[in-house]
Amino acid sequence: MTIGVFDSGLGGLTVVSAMMKHLRGVEIYYVADTQNTPYGEKSKEQILDFSVSITDYLIQNHHIDALVVACNTATSAAIKELRLLFPYLVIVGTEPGLKPAFAHTQTRKIGILATPATLGGKKYKHLIGTLSLEYDVEYFEQACSGLVAQIEKGDTDTPQTIAMLEDWLAPMREANVDTIVLGCTHYPLISKAIERVMSHPVALVQTADAISKRVLHLLEEKGHINRGCNRIHIAATGVIESAMVEQILGEKIEIEQVVI
């Protein structure tokens, strides 16, 4: 099976890394749309346009069997339209892990870090509203404008990034939040910095493993036999930090520059 994966930049590679652990005998084509990063500060119409263009590129050039939208923002803005436009593809999106956070918090206080576009999306608002009725949990939302750009530069532990996190996380720390939802696939790359700023034990909820298991289940329904070697190809539409790619995937991979 051939799987296309895309994100606005490096973040979706956290999903690819999980997929490489759970899936066997697949070929993965990853597109980092670094020319247009960050998606979280773009309009819904722009994000939809980027998403459709990248999907077209993956279909035309790599004949993909499945598509993983490894971006919370793009999932919120485009997943419905992508499924209508490409009904023959297996399409899996990315959503913040709100339900496990609400279900497992001990202090009944959770934090949610996400992009402005994700927090403003209808799907997110509907889910948070539903969970608020089901669970007696207080939640602290934080739109992390500028954080993706820091991570894309490789600035995961610089004074500027730590200062940004301190501003955003201080209210959560003071409120005794014990669970934080990482509502962007970039954010696991700064997990250690978040834990240090929080300064007390905190569970960080991400969904890369759940996405990978969902992809495996859907591919097996299509006849995939989960054994053999994996192959991965990475393309970027703009500048990308190759050292960060190597750090995330644990190996050096040649990066192709593409125009989409």
Domain of 24, CATH number, reads 3.40.50.1860
Per-residue model confidence (pLDDT) at position 50: 98
184 with 237, same domain: the answer is no
* 229 has catalytic annotation: no
Answering whether pTM is above 0.75, one says: yes
Residue by residue, pLDDT tens for the chain (260 residues) are 999 999 999 999 999 999 999 999 999 999 999 999 999 889 999 999 999 999 999 999 999 999 999 999 999 999 999 999 999 999 999 999 999 999 999 999 999 999 988 899 888 999 999 999 999 999 999 999 999 999 999 999 999 999 999 999 999 999 999 999 999 999 999 999 999 999 999 999 999 999 999 999 999 999 999 999 999 999 999 999 999 999 999 999 999 999 99
Catalytic residue, from 92, 180, 184, 198: name it: 184
pLDDT digits (tens, 9 = 90+) for 15-47: 999 999 999 999 999 999 999 999 988 999 999
Per-residue model confidence (pLDDT) at position 138: 97
* 144 has catalytic annotation: no
80 with 8, same domain: the answer is yes
75 with 6, same domain: the answer is yes
146 with 186, same domain: the answer is yes
Contacts of 146 (CB under 8 A, 6+ apart): 164
Q: What is the domain count for the chain?
A: 2
Per-residue model confidence (pLDDT) at position 40: 84
155 with 231, same domain: the answer is no
**Domain end position, chosen among 205, 222, 244:** 205
89 with 216, same domain: the answer is yes
**In angstroms, how far apart are the furthest CA atoms of the chain?**
51
102 with 171, same domain: the answer is yes
252 with 201, same domain: the answer is no
For residue 112, give the nearest of 209, 43, 177 by alpha carbon.
177
**Domain end position, chosen among 162, 177, 205:** 205
Domain boundaries, position 68: 2-94+208-257
Q: Going edge to edge, which strands form the sheet with 138-143?
A: 138-143, 109-114, 179-183, 203-205
17 with 87, same domain: the answer is yes
119 with 180, same domain: the answer is yes
Catalytic residue, from 47, 71, 177, 197: name it: 71
58 with 81, same domain: the answer is yes
